[in-house]
């Protein structure tokens, strides 16, 4: 066995923190040593499953992290960590990455990369300048069915891709009855003011269904279509969450050189009513990726015939985000594209354009300046008439 990596957690606001912590704990080269939260803009009112206070107690008592700090900067200084798992609210990602860079720690950032393109570029440039590595954690590369879909697309199973549709939806990250990986405990009923005190429903904290869920479609399209988006049109709304100022529903339509992407995100959906995976339309067929109890890829020809494909095993030693990151650190081999900084800059730029479009009412150009550009590259492009 190789080097032992000292791993800490900064930010416990994201409901995926438990699952990611457990994944790292299972890696034989990882020692989980400490955790600390980021300071919330608004104190949460109630301690229930997946609230910040509850998340911290779960990490300490169930995951077995030995130490908790009230100040993550002090934790970084004292613990000399090799890797930091960042599961903070989206708006805190840049400050966490910057702190990790100062202390020489690599960082695994929970999806999405950032609240907007400016923040994402700052993160990328900060890590590059410090010589630290950054990975953006998505589930897709560790879902074998998604890799099968990509392989089939590359083989021309449905011809050239013309459109990719992805709907990610549930009743809300803290809605009663919703369960999250790791604890697999149901969320408890909360009042409107209690929900509004969580970062999920606060626009300034990077909350909102569009950022949270349309980003899935953006990263999938960048990978499966294989091209960068050119422009995006978005629409967001707060339809049933009056206690917060963030949107609870959003749609982004992205234009690629020879294809369209339609990305939907909802926090008001009681039942999706269809597969959780993408539907991809090509010149010679349609592909449906099933992500439910029996993950398969179904390919429908133009004649209506369906062929079902089961997924192939994942590459040995690279089946989890912990394995993938440590493999990358030890070998220098590239990360899976969906975890890579450059890919995530492209996807963030797409969502950023969609959000700007929702505000301007115009189709917006997608632009992702190179990481090495100075801050002049951060300026948003001018609006493009619809």
- Residue-wise pLDDT for 168-205, tens only, equals 999 999 999 999 999 999 999 999 999 999 999 999 99
What is the CATH number for 270?
Answer: 3.30.360.10
Closest C-alpha among 180, 219, 253, 235 to residue 18: 180
- Residue-wise pLDDT for 142-173, tens only, equals 999 999 999 999 999 999 999 999 999 999 99
DSSP 7-57: EEEE---STTHHHHHHHHHTSTTEEEEEEEPPPPSS--S---TTSHHHHHH
State the DSSP code for 317. T
- Do residue 236 and residue 324 come from a single domain? no
**What is the pTM (predicted TM-score) of this model?**
0.94
- Rounded distance between C-alpha atoms, residue 356 and residue 337, angstroms: 26
Ranges of residues in the chain with a pLDDT under 50 are 373-386
Pair 264, 167: CB distance under 8 Å: yes
Residue 292 confidence (pLDDT): 67
What is the CATH number for 92?
Answer: 3.40.50.720
Q: Is 356 domain-assigned? A: no
- Do residue 51 and residue 189 come from a single domain? no
Q: Is 373 domain-assigned? A: no
The range of the structural domain enclosing residue 118 comes to 5-138+317-336
- Do residue 150 and residue 279 come from a single domain? yes
174-197 residues labelled b (16+ CB within 10 A) or e (exposed): bbeebebebbeeebbebeeebbbb
Beta strands in the chain (DSSP E): 5-10, 30-36, 67-69, 83-86, 106-110, 134-137, 161-169, 231-237, 249-256, 259-266, 279-282, 285-289, 296-301, 306-310, 363-365, 383-384
Q: Which residue has the tokens 């993938």?
A: 324
Q: Is 366 domain-assigned? A: no
Pair 328, 31: CB distance under 8 Å: no
Residue 385 confidence (pLDDT): 33
Total domains present in the chain: 2
- Do residue 172 and residue 270 come from a single domain? yes
- Rounded distance between C-alpha atoms, residue 210 and residue 215, angstroms: 7
Neighbours of 122 (CB within 10 A): 19
Let me know how long the chain is. 386
- Do residue 234 and residue 330 come from a single domain? no
- Do residue 242 and residue 272 come from a single domain? yes
């Amino acid at each position: 066995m190789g080097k032992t990596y000292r791993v800490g957690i900064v930010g416990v606001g994201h409901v995926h923190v438990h699952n990611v912590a457990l994944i790292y704990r299972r890696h034989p080269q990882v020692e989980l040593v400490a955790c600390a939260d980021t300071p919330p803009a608004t104190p949460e009112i109630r301690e229930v499953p997946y609230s910040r206070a509850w998340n911290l107690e779960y990490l300490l008592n169930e995951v077995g992290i030995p130490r908790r700090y009230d100040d993550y900067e002090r934790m970084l200084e004292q613990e000399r960590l090799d890797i930091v798992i960042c599961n903070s609210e989206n708006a805190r990602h840049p400050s966490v990455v910057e702190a990790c860079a100062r202390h020489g720690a690599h960082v695994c950032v929970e999806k999405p990369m950032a609240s907007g393109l400016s923040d994402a570029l700052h993160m990328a440039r900060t890590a590059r300048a410090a010589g630290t590595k950054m990975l953006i954690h998505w589930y897709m590369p560790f879902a074998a069915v998604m890799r099968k879909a990509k392989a089939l697309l590359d083989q021309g199973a449905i011809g050239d891709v013309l459109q990719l549709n992805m709907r990610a939806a549930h009743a809300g990250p803290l809605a009663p009855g919703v369960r999250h990986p790791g604890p697999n405990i149901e969320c408890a009923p909360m009042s409107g003011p209690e929900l509004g005190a969580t970062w999920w429903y606060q626009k300034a904290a990077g909350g909102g269904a569009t950022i949270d869920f349309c980003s899935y479609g953006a990263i999938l399209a960048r990978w499966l279509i294989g091209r960068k988006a050119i422009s995006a049109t978005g629409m967001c709304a707060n339809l049933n969450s009056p206690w917060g100022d963030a949107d609870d529903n959003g749609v982004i339509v992205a234009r690629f050189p020879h294809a369209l992407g339609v990305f939907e995100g909802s926090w008001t959906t009681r039942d999706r009513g269809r597969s959780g995976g993408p539907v991809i339309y090509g010149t010679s067929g349609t592909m449906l990726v099933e992500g439910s109890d029996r993950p398969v890829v179904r390919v429908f020809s133009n004649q209506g015939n369906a062929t079902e494909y089961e997924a192939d095993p994942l590459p040995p030693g690279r089946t989890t985000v912990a394995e993938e990151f440590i493999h990358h650190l030890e070998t220098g081999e590239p990360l899976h594209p969906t975890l890579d900084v450059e890919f995530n800059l492209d996807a963030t730029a797409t969502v950023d354009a969609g959000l700007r479009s929702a505000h301007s009412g115009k189709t917006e150009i997608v632009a992702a300046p190179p990481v090495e550009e100075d801050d002049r590259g951060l300026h948003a492009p001018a609006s493009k008439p619809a």
